[in-house]
Amino acid sequence: MTDTSQQGPAQPHEEAALALAARGLNKSFSGVHVLHDVDFSLRPGTIHTVVGENGAGKSTLIKSLTGVYQTETGCIELAGSEVRFNHPSQAQDAGISTVYQEVNLVPLLSVARNIFLGREPRGRLGLIDVRALNRKAAEVVQDLGIDVDVTAELGALGLGVQQMIALARAVTTEARVVIMDEPTSSLERREVEVLFSVARRLRDQGVGIVFISHRLDELWELCDEVTILRDGRVVHTGPMHELDRRSLISAMLGRDITEHGVTSFTDTDVSETTAEVVLEAKDLSAPGRLQSVDVSVRAGEIVGLAGLLGSGRSETVKAIYGGLDTSSGQITVKGGPVRRGSVPAALRAGIALLSEDRKAEGIVPELSVRDNIILGILPRVSNAGVLSNRRIDELVDRWIHRLGIKVSSSRQLISELSGGNQQKVLIARWLCTEPSVFLLDEPTRGIDVGAKQEVQALIDELAEKGMAVVLISSETEELVAGSDSILVLRDGEVSEILTDDQVDNSRLLSALVDGGQR
Amino acid sequence: MKASPTTASVPVKRSMSVRAWIANYGVYVALALLVVINAIITPHFLTVANLRLQLIQTAPVLIVALGMAMVIGTKGIDLSVGSVMALSAAIMPLYIGYGTVPAILVGIAAGGLSGLMIGALVSYFGIQPIVATLAVLIGGRGLANVIGGEIKNLSDPGLAVLGSGSLLGIPYSVLSAVILVLVAAFLMRRTTFGVMVEAIGGNKKAAELAGIRIKSVLVSVYVLSGLLAAFAGVLVAARSSASDPRTLGLLMELSAIAAVVIGGTSLAGGKVRILGTVGGALLMQLIVSTLVSHNIPDSVSQMVQAIVIVVAVALQVGRRKA
Amino acid sequence: MSTTSTTEAGLADAGRRTRVEKLARLTQRNGALVILLCLIVVSAFAFPTFASAGNLSQIALQAAFLAPLALGLTFVIFTGGIDLSVGSVFALGGVLAAWASQYGFLAALLVPLIVCTFIGLVQGAIVAFTSIPSFIVTLAGLLFARGLLLALTEEGSETYKVPADSAFLELSRGSFLGLGFPVWIVIVLFAIGVLVLHRTSYGSTLLAIGGQPDAARLMGLPVLRSTLIVFAVSGTMAGLAGALTASYTASGVTTLGVGLELTAIAAVVLGGTLLTGGAGTVVGSLVGVVLLQVVANLINRMGLTNSNWQAVVNGAVLLVVAVAQVLLSRVQAQERQRRRGGEADAPKPT
């Protein structure tokens, strides 16, 4: 629903000082280079979006601009003068306000209290002058076009309004730069519209806004300018309306083949149609997240799940594994039904899931590599509860060898390993459970090139030996190379299915780009 | 190459920083130092009689601390242990007529029941461990006093043996402590239970996704803590041949938590150090007895204990952040 | 160009909660008060002398000694922390007051307040500037304060007596309009507490620290300063309660206050303040204290003069209330989920 009449001035202002400018930003973490010579310019009175997939460096860029991180090189200018922020509060005091995805306000307090949290107008005895507080809050809120009772408790209001109040709070600091980091993720359509109208008002008042959202439709609706990041580099910057959906996504997701080489997936030409169906998931639904998703995988087949951020890929595999509350669905493995919503049941049935976020859901940091590997098969390596060291050592050594996990010993703490090796440990954990279905959510994310290729080759090998694999990857090239067929998800529903020779890069990109409006 | 700052990390050399070393082994060093110092400045320190005494006095705290360590390993806490001690000591005299062993068993069972209730509240109702065990702390001691009333003399010969007797020169209380330490160490190091406890404390979500039954492990850990606390109560009562529910086990939870924390087990859950807990209990005991044998008043002793606790945790917390 | 106002989009309604949700929330917040009122009404019928002015003011007086403790503790709990030292600091305050009473009324009041505030300040500093959990710091504080207490009283043997003619005694013995001075002090303190929570930046800062600890600093709130103050004040309140008790008993009893922090915590939990921080009520803690006192009074009347029955009942009440709060929270969460049709999936931050 792009209403171009709502967009701001098509022409940027004449050379007024940039609201915020950054030049030559470089940032690394533990030797991993995350931002490469990034330039960024925010004009006052514009809404500028920064786009990029996971790992492209969006978050790092924003954090570098707001004082959470300090970059190794480069300079940042605010309204023409150079600044250096060592702490987010400094950025705030200087006039950069950030609205986060999570509403970081106090639900118990009133709207007015929240808006002026920490900066309330004082009256006699230094106590908060409630009348002045409410009056000023009402002014702010009215100014932004939000119609809400400022004395109402924040927690009683809808999430959309709460997000708006967070925005209002950012505004009362008289910020000239407002950064909105995924503010619409939990909002319904109506609420999004209101948020937009507030943002436009701010823009019209001359505030420079940085807007980040993974919902691409919103970008054309709201933003004036766009900067696209890929692998830590700026690949494009310019007016929003000059870009169409296809070119935006290509720029976001495309890869320079000459630079990175092909994946380690081999071109299999297996005629899968004769193999038995191992996993059959029908009508998986979870209110607000999944809508009647069907997934079917044969032995030896790799089914890819494609989609942009928020399309429901992780939710789908979690639902199959029993880690997500579902309202409906039937799951069968090799013909036998699997109880929904129970991880032990899924494990018993032979399903394994490699989670997307290994830090939050995968590794147990204080435990050794050894303990992490056997975590899923404790009953199998013990007699009456007593661990059988012999069996464990044999199993663990075998997998360490097989997967090429670089450890000084199996007793080394997993937290000391590199990302790639940690991922291999987790893969070993799941392979120990001897699954017939392996669900892999971004298995090669955040690991070095060498490990990446090893993992890809491993997945290939597993499929060759008859395992049914579901693969999620944000790297389209990897997904295309690895999958025998691809399910394209959009807003929790299957929007398209690509099979056989439909599985190629340009076809996938089209599917991601088109496929119906919301 | 796509890299995500939150997950990529370079392989770290195995050499530990000084701070980490202190956190892991500091308690033993401190212990050794204290022994040496005492050997020099305290008369009769290295006598069998004295060492025996030190061990006897450490035993109850240590036993309770074992259970506390396991609970803390799951990121929980058990404030009820002192009251459970009093409860078991109060129940025992009622059944002493059936014989020594039955009475002891009933006392211990009371602790197990308390732990069962707490475990159920924590895992099935999602009540915070501090609140659930706080309720038992308050109510349990009251109950113990209601049952016990006043000081009861326990003149049971069987109990007397348990309290003051020895086997091959080793007091039974110390012997039971040693056995329980070995059992606890075995549980934590060599059984699936130990792995599960540490996994739940280390990363509950990951443990859940690995198919571990969180609820039953949590219940077990509180039951164990209750059983151990009850047994410690029995020992204390047996040694003094009396059961005073008003004071038995008072503030025991603090001593136990101190021993666990000083021994290197973090309140944030994860790694459980049984040996460290032993060290922590011995260290606290030695500190107190050193001060006592040099006629340093109780007041100073308590203040010293407080400082030791803070310093010990400060060292560990630093390590965690690094 | 038309601007979209929220009334058009229908977002201005403040009461989107379902009825079940509202009821659950109301009960959770005010449950203790409801129970208290019911209890009072029932007791008035069951025990004819219960509702007499004399008895009620006696209950109020008894509650007034624990109440300041609960007040200071409540604010600490708002920030998600805990103060286990209040019982020992309370005893310390009492001893200091009794000892200082020989130097006059002002000394008897100020010495405990100053010393106990200082102890709270030190604990607050450790909590604010290191990552040591407040549980540990105040646990150590508990031991330290009691040690200090012993040091000041010749290892517990010396019980300082307040001189019989001292004006200090009047502090707890006098009354105004039928209620003892301590009761009035508590009323004033809680009134101030309510003001602080609702009418100061400090109050909202505390809630923010408890609710969004990582974000609080990013929001520019003075986290360090607030932490220091909240623990210092907790010490002050404990000291005050101790001084009042010393005034009442005319002596500084050294064995008092053992475990008192736990009763205070129980009162706060009963009152509806969440131990996890970020939400709570000042008045609720007062209700919790009074509730515990009423229960004690009733147990006495039922012939069970053994104070241990009190403890048993307190423990049971705490459990019941804790379970009820959890269930009520769950009901609210379920209703919220149903209302919103599940949360829209949020992408992982890049």
- Residues of chain B found within 8 Å of residue C319, distances taken between Cβ atoms: 121, 132, 135, 139
The residue among A53, A92, A108 with the most chain C CBs within 10 A of its CB, best to mutate, is A108
Question: CA nearest C258 in B: which residue?
Answer: B251
How many whole angstroms separate alpha carbon B315 and alpha carbon B320? 9
- Among the listed ranges A168-182, A336-350, A450-464, B306-320, which one has the minimum average pLDDT value? B306-320
Please name which of B255, B223, B232 lies closest in space to residue B162, comparing C-alpha atoms: B232
Q: Is A4-259 CATH 3.40.50.300?
A: yes
Measured between CA atoms, how close is A203 to chain C, in angstroms? 14
For the segment C15-28, the average pLDDT, to the nearest whole number, is 71
Cβ contact A353–B206 (<8 Å): no
Compare CB distances from A191 to C11, C195, C348 and report the shortest one's residue. C11
How many whole angstroms separate alpha carbon B79 and alpha carbon A77? 55
Amino acid present at B5: P
Give the single-character DSSP code of A239.
Answer: E
For the segment C196-209, the average pLDDT, to the nearest whole number, is 89
Q: What's phi and psi for A24, nearest 5 deg?
A: 65, 40
Assess C201–A contact: CB distance below 8 Å, yes or no: yes
CB atoms within 10 A of CB C196: 17
Sign for the CA dihedral angle at A346, A349, A354, A360 comes to positive
Residue A189 pLDDT > 80, yes or no?
A: no
Please name which of C236, C232, C245, C252 lies closest in space to residue C150, comparing C-alpha atoms: C252
Tokens of B136: 């038992």
State residue B42's pLDDT score. 84
Q: Band of the pLDDT at C34, cuts 50, 70, 90?
A: confident
Q: Band of the pLDDT at B281, cuts 50, 70, 90?
A: very high
Residue B276 pLDDT > 90, yes or no?
A: yes
The residue among A317, A364, A374 with the most chain B CBs within 10 A of its CB, best to mutate, is A364
Dihedral over alpha carbons A237, A242, A244, A246 (to 10 degrees): -50
pLDDT tens for A92-101 read 888 888 887 7
State residue B197's pLDDT score. 96
Could you say which residues from 170 to 209 on chain A have a Cβ atom under 8 Å away from some Cβ of chain C? 181-182, 185-188, 190-191, 193-194, 196-197, 201
Assess A68–B contact: CB distance below 8 Å, yes or no: no
Measured between CA atoms, how close is C61 to chain A, in angstroms? 30
State residue C310's pLDDT score. 78
Mean pLDDT: which of A60-69, B102-111, B298-307 is highest? B102-111
Distances A517 to A78, A247, A476, A489, A495 between C-alpha atoms, Å: 38, 17, 21, 13, 11
* Helices assigned H by DSSP within chain B: 18-41, 48-73, 81-95, 100-124, 129-148, 157-164, 172-190, 192-202, 204-209, 214-240, 252-262, 274-293, 298-321
pLDDT tens for C203-219 read 989 998 988 777 787 77
How many whole angstroms separate alpha carbon C347 and alpha carbon C92? 53
- Among the listed ranges A478-487, B48-57, C295-304, which one has the minimum average pLDDT value? C295-304
Q: Do residues A440 and A297 touch, judged by C-beta distance below 8 A?
A: no
Cβ contact A445–B202 (<8 Å): no
Distances C35 to B15, C19, C293 between C-alpha atoms, Å: 60, 21, 13
Average pLDDT, chain B: 86
Assess C349–A contact: CB distance below 8 Å, yes or no: yes
Compare CB distances from B211 to A231, A343, A387 and report the shortest one's residue. A343
Predicted structure pTM score: 0.83
Of C6 and B193, more confident? B193
State residue A106's pLDDT score. 82
CA neighbours closer than 13 Å in the CB half-sphere of residue C346: 16
Residue C349 pLDDT > 60, yes or no?
A: no
State residue A261's pLDDT score. 44
State residue A257's pLDDT score. 32
pLDDT tens for B24-76 read 788 888 888 888 888 888 888 888 888 888 999 999 999 999 999 999 999 99
- Residues of chain B found within 8 Å of residue C307, distances taken between Cβ atoms: 142
- Among the listed ranges A225-234, A374-383, A419-428, C25-34, which one has the minimum average pLDDT value? C25-34
Cβ contact B10–A412 (<8 Å): no
Residue with tokens 């950069």: A96
Percentage helix, strand, coil for chain A under 3-state DSSP, each rounded to 5: 40, 25, 35
Residue with tokens 């790639």: A420
Question: CA nearest A446 in C: which residue?
Answer: C350
Cβ contact A30–B205 (<8 Å): no
How many whole angstroms separate alpha carbon C119 and alpha carbon C242? 14
The residue among B2, B208, B215 with the most chain A CBs within 10 A of its CB, best to mutate, is B2
Same fold: A4-259 with A260-350+435-518: yes
State residue C348's pLDDT score. 32
Q: Is A260-350+435-518 CATH 3.40.50.300?
A: yes
Residue C330 pLDDT > 50, yes or no?
A: yes
Complex ipTM value: 0.84
Instruction: Please report which helix (H) or strand (E) contains residue C124, including its range.
Output: helix C105-129
Cβ contact C311–B257 (<8 Å): no
Assess A384–C contact: CB distance below 8 Å, yes or no: no
Per-domain residue ranges for chain A?
A: 4-259, 260-350+435-518, 359-434
- Residue A98 in 3-state DSSP? strand
User: What is the DSSP track for B41-110?
Assistant: HSTTTTSHHHHHHHHHHHHHHHHHHHHHHHHHHTT---TTHHHHHHHHHHHHHHHGGG-HHHHHHHHHHH
pLDDT tens for B4-37 read 333 333 344 445 567 677 777 888 888 888 888 8
First to last CA, chain C: 36
For chain A, what percent of residues have pLDDT higher than 90?
A: 33
Question: CA nearest C204 in A: which residue?
Answer: A117
How many whole angstroms separate alpha carbon B301 and alpha carbon B290? 9
Question: CA nearest B189 in A: which residue?
Answer: A387
- Residues of chain B found within 8 Å of residue C148, distances taken between Cβ atoms: 299, 303
State residue A263's pLDDT score. 65
Counting as contact any 3 or more CB pairs under 8 A, the partners of B are: A, C
Domains of chain C, first to last: 18-336 (1.10.3470)
Residue C346 pLDDT > 50, yes or no?
A: no
Cβ contact C319–B121 (<8 Å): yes
Cβ contact B198–A371 (<8 Å): yes
State residue C41's pLDDT score. 87
Q: Apex CA A226: angle with CA A220 and CA A230, to 5°?
A: 115
